[in-house]
Amino acid sequence: MADFFRLNKVLIFGVGLIGGSFAAALKAAGAVDEVVGFGRSLPGLEEALRLGLIDRIGESVAAEAPDADLVLLATPVGGMAVLMQALAPHLGPQTIVTDGGSTKHDVVANAYAAFGERVGQFVPAHPIAGAENSGPAAARADLYRDRKVVVTPLPENSSVAVARVCDAWRACGAVLHTLTPADHDRVFAAVSHLPHLLSFALVHDLAVRDDRDMFFTFAASGFRDFTRIAASHPEMWRDICLANRAALLDELDRYTAQLATLREALASGDGAALEAAFDSARTARRAWAEGKLV
pLDDT (tens digit per residue) in 94-151: 999 999 999 999 999 999 999 999 999 999 999 998 766 678 989 999 999 999 999 9
Average pLDDT of span 147-161: 97
Contact, 69 vs 8, CB < 8 A? yes
Condensed to tens digits (0 to 9), the pLDDT of residues 38-57 reads 998 899 999 999 999 999 99
pLDDT tens column, 225-276: 999 999 888 988 998 999 999 999 999 999 999 999 999 999 999 999 999 9
Domain's final residue, options 130, 163, 179 = 179
168-200 pLDDT, tens digit each: 999 999 999 999 999 999 999 999 999 999 999
Instruction: Give me the percent of the chain exceeding a pLDDT of 90.
Output: 88
> Considering the domain boundaries, does residue 1 fall inside one?
no
pLDDT of residue 68: 97
- 292: confidence class by pLDDT, cuts 50, 70, 90: confident
Q: Do 98 and 159 have their domain in common?
A: yes
pLDDT of residue 71: 98
Which pLDDT belongs to residue 235? 86
The answer to whether residues 161 and 23 belong to one domain is yes
Residue 2: inside a domain, yes or no? Answer: no
- Strand arrangement, sheet containing 32-38: 56-57, 32-38, 7-13, 70-73, 96-99, 122-123
Q: 197 burial class (0-12, 13-18, 19+ CB within 10 angstroms)?
A: buried
The predicted structure's pLDDT at residue 4: 65
Q: Does one domain contain both 90 and 140?
A: yes
- Residues 190, 183: Cα–Cα separation, whole Å: 11
Structural domain containing residue 33? 7-179
- One domain for residues 175 and 215: no
User: What does the pLDDT read at residue 143?
Assistant: 96
CA dist 215 → 132, 224, 251 (Å):
22, 12, 28
Amino acid found at 17? L
Mean pLDDT value across the chain: 94
119 and 155 in a single domain? The answer is: yes
CA distance 18 to 148: 14
Please report, as a single letter, which amino acid is at residue 203: V
Residue 283 lies in a domain: yes
Last residue of a domain, one of 179, 212, 240: 179
